[in-house]
């Protein structure tokens, strides 16, 4: 994502407007989604919020492995394939991928229905069966939104995609405000809100695609294009599993079995905040700072891949370190003000996770470069080492220290994964 930029940029207006607009839309989406999370957390309280976050995680954690375009690299690769074709072929490719996604949705629904009751029995009060089924509804629009996202990226409509994301965040916040006034099972109501907001956002994305492409004159992709699309849809299940163990809050499984739902809520919130922190600096750099630098400072243009890697990593580090330090220092005030004093136990695990988040944010550049270089074996070795470390540490640490132990195990694994990616990428670049 961060190593590929336009070779030529014509005019001040063309550079600043897209960067500032996309940054503004992303910032507004971030603010609205954060506001919705704050309202949900304050309304539910730590125990109910822990159940809400856990069942939502169980329902959606496997979506990137099943869904088309949910992986960043898969989405970009598919968009590049479709972007080389004309509008009629892009419309045909949309239909082709959409039909394949329906089959994956059926597979997901079958597996989810088979696993829902065993999961509910194993995790007991932390994952009631009814809430698991309601959470499963949120995954369905996510599974189809990847197809719409691929098509809009292939059309280079990043501005429209940003608006759709903003619409989704605004709709979710609006529905959350309405749900707060309702009586009943608040966890179930908020899960339904998430599913409805996702469905409405998907509907808007589909309407935009219908207006942009000649869907009635769609041309069926040829055999070669179908083969390229099919191969592009394939995700590495092993890499995905390793990523879940290291970066996707897999410690929730241990906390949910044998610990209180309040502890579950504390760790889920601290982990969610650290993930947001990881995304801020790369998003800010790619949508605003780099376009401005490339326009106003011609000497900053990259001469080769090594130069791009070093400079981009330094830019991300310069943005990430002050952000993480500020969040680490002021997180007690932020947590108390936004979520209330009941969530102050979040502070300790959050501070631990923020340290690994800083390395993870800088490592996004390395991960992108390694994916582009197709270094799958090296990524698997590194991911396996980090995942094993997480599992080995999580079992005793969570048993001894609960939420703090989960944060320590996760931070150690993430540090190993991020540092290893940076060193591996540096070695790869120096060897070329």
**pLDDT tens across 388-413, in order?**
999 999 999 999 999 999 999 999 99
| Range in 79-88, 91-100, 298-307, 317-326 with the lowest mean pLDDT | 298-307
- 272 alpha-carbon distance from chain centroid: 10
Q: 285-310: string of b/e by CB count within 10 Å (b at 16+)?
A: bbbbbbbebbbeeeeeebeebbebbe
pLDDT over 70, % of the chain: 85
User: How many angstroms separate the CA atoms of 401 and 281, rounded?
Assistant: 31
Q: Would you state the structure tokens that stand for residue 112, as one six-digit string?
A: 């989810």
Report the chain's mean pLDDT, rounded to a whole number. 84
Which residues are CB-contacts of 286 (< 8 A; sequence separation ≥ 6)? 1, 2
Q: With H, G, I as helix, E, B as strand and everything else as coil, classify residue 268.
A: helix
Residue 3 pLDDT exceeds 50? no
How does pLDDT run across 129-151, given as a tens digit for each residue?
A: 999 999 999 988 888 888 888 88
Domain ranges of the chain: 1-234, 236-432
Residue 8 pLDDT exceeds 60? no
- Indicate the DSSP class of residue 85: S
pLDDT of residue 74: 66
Q: Where are the alpha helices (DSSP H) in 213-304?
A: 223-233, 237-247, 252-256, 261-284, 290-296
How does pLDDT run across 100-127, given as a tens digit for each residue?
A: 887 788 888 888 989 999 999 999 889 9
The answer to whether 56 touches 139, Cβ cutoff 8 Å, is no
Highest mean pLDDT among 209-218, 291-300, 309-318, 399-408: 399-408
pTM attached to this predicted model: 0.88
Q: How many CA atoms lie within 13 A of 397 on its CB side?
A: 18
């Amino acid at each position: 994502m961060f190593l590929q930029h336009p070779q030529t940029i014509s005019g001040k207006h063309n550079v600043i407007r897209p960067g500032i607009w996309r940054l503004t839309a992303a910032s507004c989406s971030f603010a609205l989604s954060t506001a919705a999370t704050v309202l949900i957390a304050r309304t539910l309280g730590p125990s109910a919020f822990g159940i809400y976050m856990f069942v939502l995680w169980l329902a959606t954690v496997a979506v990137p492995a099943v869904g088309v375009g949910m992986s960043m690299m898969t989405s970009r690769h598919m968009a590049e394939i479709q972007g080389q074709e004309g509008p009629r072929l892009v419309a045909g490719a949309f239909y082709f991928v959409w039909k394949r996604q329906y089959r994956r949705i059926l597979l997901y629904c079958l597996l989810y229905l088979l696993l829902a009751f065993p999961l509910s029995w194993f995790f007991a009060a932390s994952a009631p069966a009814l809430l698991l089924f309601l959470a499963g509804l949120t995954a369905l629009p996510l599974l189809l939104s990847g197809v719409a996202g691929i098509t809009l990226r292939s059309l280079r409509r990043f501005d429209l995609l940003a608006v759709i994301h903003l619409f989704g965040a605004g709709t979710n916040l609006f529905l959350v405000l309405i749900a707060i006034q309702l009586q009943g099972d608040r966890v179930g109501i908020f899960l339904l809100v998430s599913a409805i907001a996702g469905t409405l956002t998907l509907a808007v994305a589909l309407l935009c695609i219908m207006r942009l492409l000649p869907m009635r004159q769609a041309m069926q992709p040829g055999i070669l294009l179908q083969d390229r699309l099919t191969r592009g849809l394939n995700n590495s299940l092993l890499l995905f599993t390793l990523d879940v163990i290291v970066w996707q809050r897999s410690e929730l499984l241990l906390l949910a079995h044998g610990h209180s739902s309040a502890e579950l809520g504390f760790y889920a919130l601290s982990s969610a905040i650290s993930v947001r922190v990881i995304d801020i600096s790369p998003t800010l750099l790619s949508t605003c700072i780099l376009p401005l630098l490339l326009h106003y400072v011609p000497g900053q243009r990259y001469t080769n891949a090594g130069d791009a890697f070093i400079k981009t990593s330094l830019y991300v580090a310069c943005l990430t370190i002050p952000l993480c330090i500020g969040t680490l220092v002021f997180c007690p005030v932020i947590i108390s003000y936004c979520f209330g004093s009941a969530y102050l136990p979040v502070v300790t695990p959050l501070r631990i996770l923020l340290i690994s988040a800083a390395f993870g944010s800088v490592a996004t550049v390395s991960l992108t470069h390694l994916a582009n270089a197709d270094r799958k074996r090296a990524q698997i070795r590194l991911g396996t080492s980090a995942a094993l470390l997480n599992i080995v540490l999580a079992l005793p640490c969570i048993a001894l220290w609960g939420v703090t132990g989960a944060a320590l195990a996760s931070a150690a694994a993430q540090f190993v994964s991020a540092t290893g990616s940076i060193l591996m990428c540096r070695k790869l670049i120096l060897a070329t």
